[in-house]
Amino acid sequence: MVKIFRKIRQRLLSENKFSRYLLYAIGEIFLVVIGILIALQINNWNESKKNQKIELRYLKELKSEFAQNLVLANESIRSNENIKASSAKMLKFTGEKRIEISEMELALTMNQSFAPNPRYIPSPSIIEDLINSGIIASINNDTLRIQLAEWFVILEFAKRKEDEIFEQRNAITELILSQIPFLNFLRDDGSGNLYEPLSIGSNFKGDTRDILNDVHFENRLGMFIILLIGGEFAYINIKEHCERILITIENELIARQKLVTKG
């Protein structure tokens, strides 16, 4: 093909047909440009297909990740609700009145209320991979891209609420340790059985229920419940955001499947 074009150019020049040669040269340049544009278009098409495959893979991984995050959010809501319920139960017995709860029942209730519970930790984040690789910017669904960006803000809010709850729990624990024979709690809630010297209780006299007559304990407990309500709101926010992301991803996957079917 190249030899044919060369012979045509040489023949036109030898016949001194410059105007025709010029038109031919322009036509040849035009064909070359068209060829380049076609090649670029093919390259862009191949690159687009490649990016679509990568994006589809991440969409499926995000779906799996946020399905697990939703499970974790529901577990955190249940745990928070149990702690709030046992703390509210304890609040009924505070004040200068006849104590209507046994030491053992109080120990078990306190264990349920103040035993450290795990923080909400989402499953290993695909989002971080998307951000670090820059792929998140190429996600075509604007709604999903915004939702993924909001995810870290929501997690940070939940972390702050958890920090407040843990701080208040530690303050209550310090108050308990300073006011009553705490070893009796270990004896009564069964945790003292882990080590025999702890199973016999405290060597000091005193009733562990005396803490219920301390206004500082009641104040701390009330604040603790308020913070648990804030924590519940944070976990519900996580749950609802996971659900929104999963709906967006599912709709995007359905739309892509329809395009494949039509194609």
Confidence (pLDDT) at 95:
87
pLDDT at residue 1 tops 80 = no
Confidence of residue 21 (pLDDT cuts 50, 70, 90): very low
Confidence of residue 145 (pLDDT cuts 50, 70, 90): confident
Share of the chain above pLDDT 90, in %: 38
In angstroms, the CA 212 to CA 84 distance is 17
Rounded mean pLDDT of 33-37? 64
Encode pLDDT of 69-113 as tens digits. 999 999 999 999 999 999 999 999 998 766 688 888 988 899 889
Both tokens assigned to 31: 């064909």
Rounded mean pLDDT of 56-68? 89
Q: What pTM was computed for the model?
A: 0.77
Confidence (pLDDT) at 2:
46
Encode pLDDT of 121-132 as tens digits. 887 677 777 777
Encode pLDDT of 184-216 as tens digits. 888 888 887 878 888 888 888 888 888 999 999
Maximum distance among all Cα pairs of the chain, rounded to whole angstroms = 124
pLDDT at residue 169 tops 70 = yes
pLDDT at residue 182 tops 60 = yes
Average pLDDT value for the chain: 81
Both tokens assigned to 262: 């039509």
CB-CB contact of 137 with 149 (8 Å): no
Confidence (pLDDT) at 116:
76
In angstroms, the CA 80 to CA 105 distance is 20
In angstroms, the CA 111 to CA 190 distance is 10
